[in-house]
């Protein structure tokens, strides 16, 4: 799926704003967005939020045979994946140009700088070494994936613990975390990358560009440095011409930023360590704040409560009596039940006059008389029983009706039933 195209007006506005030294989110030129580092339950799992950009790094290890050219050293493997979850522009499976570029930059930043002591990863020279694998997944792209990825990768490496190994002669035993405490990796320094975006042919620069700023930039300069002010990697893309002074200025800014970020990482690692020691809850589930609205939440609305009781009583007095509810089914006629509120059925009353005029009344009347006679008999027989369910088969009606009879309503039913039954039969005969 293609990403939303950038409209001309956005581009013009952004460039104009940058000329006035204004950024979209109100930052200053050299400001970073808020960085948040959290660790997961496993050792070596790290989430980094750089504003809205979110990446996750996971470190894992495996015993493998070493490279033939370097039999004493362990192997570091880096993999950065651009997930479609991060942006509609990223496609699953395809190695886009950006993905290749970011992978290369991450490798140069971490592997070529020799920040990890690979010789300590050797178990049996020439036969078994540890292969440390760092997987970085992008979860949301709001610009500057490179910086977020480098922070996540180095934090995860610092957080990671590898299993302890014991060597006895030729035998190599790998102890599980329960048997022996896992050992942290030996890390010399922490290289962190800082990105600078250039606009208008290098006239203006911004640190930590967000996604929209990245779209309108001319070029990008990435400097990877550690807190000892050693430059681990420099990369310039976009083909812009930079002056020596500009690069020097950028490296000075980078050293300030890197020391701040390194402090942040160390603090986060320390927090995690104390949390684990205290046995507190740490990990993935805890680091996700519940920011969803899962229920309809409304503010309390103020309600006018003055003289409520007087108003209520006046309303109650002036109102009509509530309609009488019929608690049990009322059977005006077999097949018709009535329950609950409501006026009494007036069918019978209106149709009584009509029915008298009709011819078919007599037959209807007879059957009704039968019905009521049956009801009366039932009533006499089963006085003790409260509820009767009697099947009444009428000659006129095709279906068998199951009717619940109550002794109290029998008489009423009789009166109304006469008229209604008559009406029903008269209508039926009219139809015919």
Partner 1 sequence: MGSNRCCSEYVPAKGETVIGIITAKSGDVFKVDYGGSEQASLSYLAFEGATKRNRPNVQVGDLVFAQFVVANKDMEPELVCIDGSGRANGMGVFGAAGLLIKVSLGLVRRLLAPHSDLRADLEQLFPCELVVGMNGRIWVRAASVQQTLILANLLQSCDTMTAPQRQQLFRRIQMGAL
Residues at the interface with partner 1 (CB under 8 A): 1, 4-13, 16-17, 20, 22, 24-26, 52, 54, 84-88, 139-142, 211, 291-292, 299
Cβ closer to partner 1: 6 or 187? 6
Cβ closer to partner 1: 139 or 344? 139
CB of 10 to partner 1, least distance (A): 5
Residues 6+ apart with CB under 8 A from 127: 65, 66
Bridge pairing between strands 128-140 and 75-82: parallel
CB of 414 to partner 1, least distance (A): 59
Looking at the DSSP bridge assignments, the partners of residue 47 are: 38, 56
CB of 94 to partner 1, least distance (A): 16
DSSP secondary structure string for all residues of 113-158: TT-B-GGGGEEETTTEEEEEEEEEEEEE-SS-HHHHHHHHHHHHHH
Q: What are phi and psi of 258, to 5 degrees?
A: -65, -40
Cβ closer to partner 1: 20 or 398? 20
CB of 29 to partner 1, least distance (A): 15
379: left (phi over 0), alpha (psi -120 to 50) or beta: alpha
CB of 124 to partner 1, least distance (A): 45
Closest by alpha carbon to 204, among 248, 250, 155?
A: 250
Cβ closer to partner 1: 84 or 342? 84
Cβ closer to partner 1: 88 or 238? 88
CB of 228 to partner 1, least distance (A): 36
CB of 211 to partner 1, least distance (A): 7
Cβ closer to partner 1: 153 or 216? 216
Start-to-end CA distance of the chain, whole Å, equals 68
Number of Cα atoms under 13 Å in the Cβ half of residue 307: 5
Cβ closer to partner 1: 24 or 344? 24
Tell me how far apart the alpha carbons of residues 146 and 265 are, in angstroms, rounded to a whole number.
16
Q: Measure Cα distances from 385 to 97, 306, 378, 389 in Å.
A: 88, 54, 10, 11
Q: Tokens at residue 161, please?
A: 């613990």
Cβ closer to partner 1: 7 or 346? 7
CB of 51 to partner 1, least distance (A): 11
Cβ closer to partner 1: 22 or 104? 22
Residues 6+ apart with CB under 8 A from 425: 360, 361, 363, 364, 367, 396
Q: What is the three-class DSSP state of 338?
A: strand
- CB neighbour class for 4 (10 Å; exposed up to 12, middle 13-18, buried from 19): exposed
Q: Tokens at residue 383, please?
A: 């006085």
Cβ closer to partner 1: 16 or 376? 16
CB of 291 to partner 1, least distance (A): 7
Q: What is the three-class DSSP state of 404?
A: strand
CB of 14 to partner 1, least distance (A): 8
Longest dimension (CA), the chain: 119
């Amino acid at each position: 799926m293609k990403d939303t195209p950038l409209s001309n007006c956005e581009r013009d506005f952004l460039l104009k704003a940058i000329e006035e030294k204004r950024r979209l989110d109100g930052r200053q030129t050299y400001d970073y967005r808020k960085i948040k580092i959290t660790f997961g339950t496993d050792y070596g799992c790290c989430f980094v939020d750089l504003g809205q950009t979110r990446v996750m790094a996971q470190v894992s290890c495996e015993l493998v045979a070493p490279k033939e050219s370097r039999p004493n050293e362990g192997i570091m493997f880096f993999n950065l994946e651009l997930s479609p979850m991060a942006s509609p522009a990223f496609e699953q499976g395809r190695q886009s140009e950006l993905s290749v570029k970011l992978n290369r930059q991450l490798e140069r930043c971490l592997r070529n700088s020799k920040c990890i002591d690979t010789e300590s990863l050797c178990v049996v020279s020439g036969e078994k070494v540890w292969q440390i694998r760092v997987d970085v997944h992008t979860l949301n792209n709001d610009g500057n994936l490179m910086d977020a990825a480098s922070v996540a990768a180095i934090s995860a490496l610092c957080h990671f613990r590898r299993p302890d190994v014991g060597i006895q002669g030729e035998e190599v035993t790998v102890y599980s975390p329960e048997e022996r405490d896992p050992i942290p990796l030996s890390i010399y320094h922490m290289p962190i990358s800082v990105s600078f975006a250039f606009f208008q042919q290098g006239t203006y620069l911004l640190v930590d560009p967000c996604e929209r700023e990245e779209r309108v930039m001319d070029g990008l300069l990435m400097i990877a440095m550690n807190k000892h002010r050693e430059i681990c990697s420099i990369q310039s893309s976009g083909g812009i011409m930079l002056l020596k002074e500009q690069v020097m200025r950028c490296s000075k800014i980078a050293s300030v930023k890197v020391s701040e970020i390194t402090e942040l990482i160390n603090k986060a690692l320390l927090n995690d360590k104390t949390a684990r020691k205290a046995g507190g809850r740490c990990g993935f589930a805890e680091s996700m704040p519940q920011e969803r609205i899962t229920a309809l939440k409304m503010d309390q609305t103020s309600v006018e409560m003055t003289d409520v009781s007087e108003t209520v009583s006046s309303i109650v007095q002036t109102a009509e009596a509530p309609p009488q509810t019929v608690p049990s089914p009322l059977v005006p006629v077999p097949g018709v039940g009535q329950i609950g509120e409501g006026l009494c059925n007036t069918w019978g009353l209106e149709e009584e006059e009509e029915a008298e005029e009709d011819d078919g009344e007599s037959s209807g009347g007879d059957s009704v008389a039968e019905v009521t006679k049956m009801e009366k008999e039932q009533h006499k027989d089963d006085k003790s029983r409260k509820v009767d369910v009697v099947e009444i088969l009428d000659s006129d009606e095709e279906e068998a009706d199951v009717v619940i009879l109550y002794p109290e309503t029998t008489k009423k039913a009789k009166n109304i039933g006469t008229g209604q039954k008559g009406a029903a039969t008269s209508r039926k005969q009219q139809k015919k």
